[in-house]
Structure 1
């Protein structure tokens, strides 16, 4: 069973609270166990806790959840791009799956609400699949025939 942590931004919590509910439901559907739900103030803050979360021995993967809503300036672009870049950097550094379930940039509130379920489910599904496949790959051994890890 994959042990999954969810890191969720509180900013735009009317949206991210729904994402959290959908993520937990989908994790159960996939047979994964949610071991931690860690809330942070905003999307930009997600990378600050990731190393601590993935260091837990009872976490195989992490799904990040957040919503960056378009405003009058390009601040949403900055927040979304920097958070996404750092999340990927940390995932590669620690060699554990950390997936991106962040709506935006460029989304308005209505678009974000329409994408709640899709983004939450995709982030959880990718985290669970990656965790399972990394384990399969670690245990796989080539013996003259192509090894498929799927």
Structure 2
């Protein structure tokens, strides 16, 4: 089975990065809909568009975007994505993890949001084909919660 692990764009948000706010659920929904519609580049651009800090790192962002597009091309576009986990800490940091099913293998996409003062921005967007650990822990959590 094809196995790749890449964590991308784990860039911190600077104080000046917050210009306009976004709604995290809307960003996730739109990004996933673009991925399922086989619009990988548009999905990537949309996922990180709320954070102006990424514009300062254009070369890194472009390289990462190419890696993401190559990964999707190799495993196939996802047919659907389902939420595995979502957690908000201190009303300012939020992480959402989704599992996406593609032709060749499942993979994860991760969204991390940051709310410095009034507005949410995407702090990072990443993906991984190493889904085993997250799936196992999610299943154990569901079993524990059903008892």
How high is the TM-score relative to the length of structure 1?
Answer: 0.27
Q: Which has the higher strand share?
A: 2
How high is the TM-score relative to the length of structure 2?
Answer: 0.27
